[in-house]
Structure formats: C-alpha cells, structure tokens
Amino acid sequence: MEIPKELFYTEEHEWVLIDDANNTATIGITDYAQSELGDIVFVELPNVDDEVKQMEPFGAIEAVKAVSDLFSPLTGIVTEVNMLLQDRPELINQDPYDKGWMIKVQLADTSELDSLWSPEDYKKHIS
Amino acid sequence: MPFIPNTDADRKAMLERIGVESFEELISNIPEELRYKQAFNLPEPLSEMEVVREVHHKTRCNRTISDAISFLGGGAYDHFVPAAIGHIISRSEFYTAYTPYQPEVSQGTLQAIYEYQSMIAELMSMEVANASMYDGGSALAEAALMAVAETRRKKILVARTVHPHYRQIISTYCHGQAIEVELVDAENGTTSLPDIKSKIDDNTAAMIVQHPNFLGNLEEVFDISQLTHENGALFVTSNDPISLGILEPPGKYDADIASGEGQCLGNSLNFGGPYLGILAAKFKLVRRIPGRIAGATVDNQGRRGFVLTFQTREQHIRREKATSNICTNQALNALAATVYLALMGKHGIQDVARLCLQNSHYLADRIQNLDGFQLAYSAPFFKEFVVTTPVLPVEIIEKLTLQNIYAGIDLSQFDFGLKNGLLIAVTEKRTKHELDVFIEALKNV
C-alpha cells in the first residue's frame, strides 16, 4: 500500500499536501481508502469558494457497494476542484495521490496542521 | 377458523414455562392504578353468520363513486379503470411480492418497475423516472428537497395554486431542515409572474407550480420556467398525467423535476389511498432522486436483466445519510399505471384527455349560463374548473348529494379567498346525459 512520505494523513483516510508558500492544501483519499472502496463510480465535491471545516463532510464518494462521506482534514475556503473527476471518477482508483486529487483549500488556521498524522502514524492506523 | 390462536392448554404451558402461576402474576409489576378494570365497551361475540350479516348491512350504508354522478376532483379522479388492470395486479406474483432487493428472485417485479419508469419518462418527456413515491404530495415535497440539495439554497417558492394539501406536505418536509417556504400569489387563478419576480432571489432553490393547477387552470409554464432558470433555481412541476395526452409535457418547458399524482392512471379511488407518486427528473439529478430506481443490465452470460440501481444512496445502506427517508415505492399502484398506459397507448391517452377537455368545457359553458353561476376565472383549463355559486357551495353539495350527484369541492375551506367557489372535475366517464342531469339539478338550488 503506497503511503507517500511528503504527505500528511487523517484517521478518515484523506491525504493532505501542504503548500507552505501559498498557505494552501491539496486533499484526496489514500491508496488504502480507494482499494477498500473498490470501483468508484461517482464523487460529489464542493464548489469553489465553499467553506470546508476540519473533520466535517465536504462531499461524498460512491463506490459500487457504498457511499461514504469525505471529511475535510482542515478548515478553509475551496480554491480549486478537480473537475476531471466528474467524468472520470476512476482516476481516484488509478492514481489516488496525483490525478485523483479532489480539492485545494486556502487554509484558515495553520494550527490545525498539528492534528494531522505523519505517514508513520497512518501506516500504523491501517496495519 | 381459530380467531384466538392460544387455547387454555397453550396458555397454561406458556405460563408454566415462564414460571408463573397465572396471567395476573405475569403482569404483577404493572401498578394497580394503571390497570383498566371496567368491562370493555364491546358487543357480545357473534357467530360467523351474524358477523357476515352485520358487515353486509354496514357496507350498504357506504356511498361510493359508482352510486352517483361524481364531479369530485382535487387530485383524486373518477377515470375509467379497465378490467384487465385488476386481473393483472391481482396475480399473486405481483400482489404478494415484497421488496425486490434480490434480482435473482425478482425479475418480474423489477421489469414491471423498469417499464413503469420508461413509460413515465416518455409521458413527461423527462430523462429519468423513479420507481414511484407514496402519492403526488410526497413526490412534490421530495422534489423540493432534491432542489435544495442540488442548488445548496434554502428557500422554496410554492405557487398558491398548488394543491393545499401538497403545500402542507412540502412545509412538513421542509420544517426542521431550516428550509424557508414562501407562497407566490395568484392573479385570475394562475400564478403571478410579477410576484415570482419580487420573491425569487439567489437563495431560491426551486419554483414549484402545479399544471394544470389545483383550480384547474393552465399555468404560464414556459415563462415561469425561463424566469426560474434566469435566477439559477430549479423549475419543479406537479402534473396531471392524463393532461399530458393533450398538453405539452414538462420536459418541453425545461422542468428540472416533474412530479404528479398517478391515481388517475388505472388506479381506483381507494377511499383516498393508496395512491401513486410520480417523480421524474433530468438525468443530471439522478443521484438526488429519492427512493428506488430499477435499471436494465446484462448478467454474466450477456442476458438482459433488471436490478435496483443507486441503492447505495438508500436508507438501508446509507442510514441517516440517505438521500431521503423513503425506502419503498408503491409497486402495485405503479403496476396498475403501467398496465393502464400499455392498454391505452399514445392514442388512448390522447382520446381520454380530449374527452375530459370536451366534457368539462361543455359543462362549464352550460353552467355559466345559469342564473347566479359564473366561471371564477377566464384562464384556460383542462378537466377541472371553478364556478362561483349563488348560494353557499356546501348547500349545493348537500342538496345534490340527496339526488346522487357529487357536485364538487367546496373551496371555502382553503386559502383562496373563495367563499362561493365550487371546484368541478369532469372526466371521460361523464356522459352528456349525466352532465345535463347535473345542470338541471343546479337550476333548482
């Protein structure tokens, strides 16, 4: 199971890529999450300028057998949404850490970063 | 036939097993003061023969639609129900079947639902229809919730000309979800465009109209649709499916969600229910549609088959996060509608609609020539219309009931400001003779 070193993680199986220069975060779901869900058929994401709150749902992901909420790892304003996923949700299965990214968020409170998990923490969580 | 299945011996065995002497001992933890000590106010037991006689006597006190000439409408209509429908829906494969979750044992039911959806989608010119809702009111209320979810806006505009009961259901569904419901007023019995303009804003999720509306009149659906979409809201309609034999379907005026009461499609009046909630939408809203959708697929050998699809959004899987708290559909009523639509075909529906239109306009013309009676509105109407009456509608209704004529619905009970309004519905079943009998009766009120 791939767990890239440069990312942070949450208990709900989201990954976060921090861009310190712009104070933004890119958010997606982990390799483990996509493999547990199975074939993803639809993903419901927020709109640009929507507010997301830490550990509150920002969308939903639908696989063949279940629909799950997506939890935001951080609080902020959505600046970008991966529109490619509307027509090609399978990108989340194929490439969860790159082409399968979901949203970019302008961070409201950088102290929240402390609550994120390291790759090691996340590895322990799923093993 | 044992009406009380436990014999004295059964009860004794159960009490022994529990370890108590008597029934009184079993319930000894219920405080004395909470126990009902008086004798029940029930008649003495009767033999089966006596019960049959008694029930038969009581049923003869019922007055049904077949005993009278009925002009009752308001969502429940006396349309003809061909005998084939009763025959098909009474087959035990359909009549006793429960929920078709398992496609391997439910192909017949699923195919019937799929055909229902296909016919409804075609009748309404919409891209997708669900397996049905409880009734026209709950379908419309669910449509309101769909619009709120899709637009992420929190206000619903509802035309006052929507059925008052449907409006109540919408308010009930929206209550507690912090969704504001605002009424749009009517002018000359149809929805006021200036009033929509003054009330629609960037927090409006949907504009809801009924077409033909509760008062029977046709709404300016093309204009309302455009105005609604200019403001980024969804256009939601409730339609009489029979009217679609002659009127433009909601898909043609770009409705986002179309709903309706399906009782008029091959379902009896059923003393007010069970009825059939029709719900159809644009395909982009397919994941917002509540309840069930049957889909066509192929099995692992490439053979055509049917399954429930989008189940992942339903309550039995998604629990409190489901799209809606409906977790069933009106399968038997939907089947009746399917058989009706298949029997009637395109031309049959057109014929029924045309007959309704002709009958209602003949009657309206004759009534407005009677002294003291007037058509309340000049708007075009389909099978239902409002007349203002020289005496209170309730007096007319009571008097004509004695002559086995159900004159219509007294509108003074609703919020239309009509003290003397009588809502009259005319279906294809009414003969010219019956219409003339009604007119004669009205002359003498």
Q: Where are the domains of chain A?
A: 8-109
Task: Kindly state whether residue B13 falls inside one of the protein's structural domains.
Answer: no
Task: Kindly state whether residue B1 falls inside one of the protein's structural domains.
Answer: no
B291 and B268 share one domain:
yes
B417: CB partners within 8 A, 6+ apart: none
Q: What count of other Cβ atoms lies within 10 Å of the Cβ of residue B343? A: 13
B297 and B357 share one domain:
no
Q: What is the pLDDT of residues A74-124, one digit of tens each?
A: 999 999 999 999 999 999 999 999 999 999 999 999 899 999 999 999 999
Predicted pLDDT of residue B40: 87
Whether residue B46 is predicted with pLDDT greater than 60 in this model: the reply is yes
Task: Give the minimum alpha-carbon distance from B86 to chain A in angstroms, rounded to a whole number.
Answer: 37
State the average pLDDT over residues B282-286: 95
The CATH fold of domain A8-109? OB fold (Dihydrolipoamide Acetyltransferase, E2P) (2.40.50)
B244 and B162 share one domain:
yes
- Number of cross-chain residue pairs from A and B with Cβ atoms under 8 Å apart: 19
B71 and B135 share one domain:
no
Task: Kindly state whether residue B155 falls inside one of the protein's structural domains.
Answer: yes
Task: Kindly state whether residue B352 falls inside one of the protein's structural domains.
Answer: yes
Assign residue B252 a region (left: φ > 0; alpha: ψ between -120 and 50; beta: otherwise).
alpha
Q: How far apart are CA A120 and CA B310, in angstroms?
A: 37
Q: How far apart are CA B295 and CA B122, in angstroms?
A: 16
State the average pLDDT over residues B415-431: 97
B110 and B249 share one domain:
yes
B359 and B423 share one domain:
yes
> How would residue B131 be classed by pLDDT, with cut points 50, 70 and 90?
very high
Single residue among B340, B372, B402 that ends a domain in this structure:
B340
Q: Is A64 on the interface with B (CB under 8 A)?
A: yes
B74 and B124 share one domain:
no
Instruction: Say whether B317 and A66 touch across the interface (CB within 8 A).
Output: yes
B157 and B218 share one domain:
yes
End-to-end Cα spacing for chain B: 53
B118 and B149 share one domain:
yes
User: What is the pLDDT of chain B when averaged over all its residues?
Assistant: 94
B385 and B327 share one domain:
no
Q: How far apart are CA B389 and CA B351, in angstroms?
A: 31
Single residue among B292, B325, B340 that ends a domain in this structure:
B340
Low-confidence winner among B117-126, B247-256, B310-319 (lowest mean pLDDT) = B310-319
Task: Give the minimum alpha-carbon distance from A65 to chain B in angstroms, rounded to a whole number.
Answer: 6
Predicted pLDDT of residue B1: 47
Contact B409, B74 (CB under 8 A): yes
Single residue among B340, B360, B387 that ends a domain in this structure:
B340
Instruction: Say whether B287 and A64 touch across the interface (CB within 8 A).
Output: no
Residue B208 sits at the vertex; the CA angle it makes with B204 and B214, to the nearest 5 degrees, is 150
> Which structural domain, as residue segments, surrounds residue B320?
83-340
Task: Kindly state whether residue B32 falls inside one of the protein's structural domains.
Answer: no
Predicted pLDDT of residue B3: 64
Task: Kindly state whether residue B202 falls inside one of the protein's structural domains.
Answer: yes
Q: How far apart are CA B379 and CA B215, in angstroms?
A: 10
Q: How far apart are CA B426 and CA B362, in angstroms?
A: 10
Predicted pLDDT of residue A81: 97
Instruction: Say whether A62 and B287 touch across the interface (CB within 8 A).
Output: yes
Asked if ipTM goes beyond 0.90, one says no
**Domain total in chain B:** 2
